[in-house]
Structure 1
Amino acid sequence: MSYKTLRKTPGDGFDRIQWYDARLNTHTIRADDPITARTVAPGERTRKPGKWKGQKPYQGHYWCAGARTSVFHESMTEYAGMMLIDHLYDIIAVYAQPMLMTFFDGRYCYPDFLAIEADGTRHVVEVHPKALMKAEDEVKFAHAARVCEVLGWRFTLIDQLSDTVRMNLEMMSRYRHHRYTPTPDVEDHILRTAKRNDTFGSLRRALITDKPGELIPFLFHLMWKGELSFDLTARFTEHTTLTAG
């Protein structure tokens, strides 16, 4: 197993953030000032896992609909976590393993993702299953959450995703690409019809045209975008309630 990582710094009583730019130059700031933190601009992953025979985690790339780009994931658990963030938040950019956080006590972490939301919010995302959580991990994530709060960033730890949530995300994500964005008149038609038909089954039937399934991709795209919401934790059926707006 081989890794290419940004070199860790020793704990010196301060929280620090380090990252690579696109030319692999290292940048370092003290993580105590929201204004200075705006300079964090990852250009390359700070931690690059290798591949080896018998490897279980499946590495790959997730196409992020909000950022309209592919983002590296180290496992399918990370893939699912990124899919959830892409669905729930208005993302315009995302970076995998974007930085090295070194904390005042010498502990450190390489966050899984940094997402930039449309309103400028920076969003650090960690994906770590509860079954693999150790006491040291809990301390590390608590440090990361604390630093994010100081900087005015959002912090999310995804430690559990049920099979139901994952399946619901995968169902909608097939139509996450902007090619499925309905025209304004079609969107208005679907949302107005949804207000008169509050279950998926009744809405689907009300949207039938002379072309089988013509409006279904647009319907699922609006669900992905949150224009039509439902209980993500419950099994999706014809009787699932959809709420417009």
Structure 2
Amino acid sequence: MSTGRLHGFESLEERSLLVALDFAGTVVEVLPQPFRLRFETAEGFSEHIPDFLAVFHDGSRWLFDVRPGPLIKERDETCFAASGEAALAVGWRYSVVTGWRSHVLSVLDALSAQRRPLEDQLGLQDWMLEALSRGSVTFGEMVAATSLPVVARAHALHLLWHRRLGIDLSRPLGDHSLVWSVTESG
């Protein structure tokens, strides 16, 4: 994770949020179960522990609860509303993560597999960046511009993870996906 530490998670849904936060690249700290919130409801007092508090480079904070949509019960909704009010009171953002588009998770998993340092002894990354110097191209065209397209795919994923290249995450990643240099608007 971009915080430089390992972070525990209690579910695959929480893991997915951590991968997405890591990909965002602007997180400096993630605190799991950051506090216990005690609040009053019509039925009496209740407690809730939010799942994560993310701290960003600009100092902003974002509080998260993670629960698959079909598993959210009425009590959860009350707890989430209380967490949202508490976050608002201190100037934080708040979200309940209920799920992801399936292709977003598969793309982030593929990209995160290439997040580690990657030696580019063949200069494939430079070839791909040069292919993009004249504007956006498809993923397939970009890797085909190298001497070893099969090997270039791993390097392309590495560049995407480290945000040296951009893609549209609202669509699945494939050879026809448009790729652009981060200096270009896309």
| Letter of the structure 2 residue corresponding to residue 194 of structure 1 | L
Match of 1:173 in 2: 112
* Alignment partner of 1:131 out of 60, 70, 73: 70
The runs of 5 or more residues in structure 1 that have no matched partner are 1-63
Partner deviation per Cα, 1:194-242 (whole Å, 9 max, x = no partner): 2435210011112x246962x5444223312333222323222100112
- CA change 1:123–1:242 in 2 (3 A) is same
Normalized per residue, the structure richer in helix is 2
1:135-160 CA-to-partner distances (Å, cap 9, x unmatched) read: 22122212212221221222222101
Tell me which residue corresponds to 1:239.
Answer: 176
1:72-221 superposed matches below 5 A? 72-105=8-41, 106-177=45-116, 179-180=117-118, 190-196=128-134, 197-206=136-145, 208-209=146-147, 213=151, 215-221=152-158
Identity rate of aligned residues, in percent?
Answer: 26
- State the shift of 1:107 in Å: 3.0
Q: Which deviates more, 100-109 or 128-137?
A: 100-109
8 Å CA contact 2:143–2:149 kept in 1: the answer is no
The CA RMSD over aligned residues, in Å, is 2.6
Output the CA distance in 1 between the equivalents of 2:124 and 2:93.
Answer: 34
SS in 2 for 1:171: helix
Preserved CA contact (<8 Å) 1:200 1:237? yes
Q: TM-score, normalised by structure 2?
A: 0.80
TM-score (norm. length: structure 1): 0.63
Q: Deviations over 1:47-80 (max 9, x none)?
A: xxxxxxxxxxxxxxxxx2x112110010112111
Alignment correspondent of 1:71: 7
CA distance in 2, matches of 1:156, 1:104: 21
Change in 2 beyond 3 A, CA 1:186/1:142: farther
Offset at residue 162 of structure 1 (A): 2.7
Q: Which runs of 5+ in 2 are unaligned?
A: none
Contact kept, 8 Å, 2:128 with 2:143, in 1: the verdict is: no
Inter-partner Cα distance in structure 1 for 2:65 and 2:137? 35
Q: State the alpha-carbon separation in 2 of the partners of residues 181 and 88 from structure 1.
A: 23
Measure the CA separation in 1 of the matches of 2:93 and 2:127.
35
Contact 1:181 1:221 in 2 (8 A): no
Displacement after TM superposition at 1:96 (Å) = 1.6
Aligned residues: 176
Question: Counterparts of 1:49-64 in structure 2 under 5 Å?
Answer: 64=1
Residues 218-227 or 81-90, more deviating = 218-227
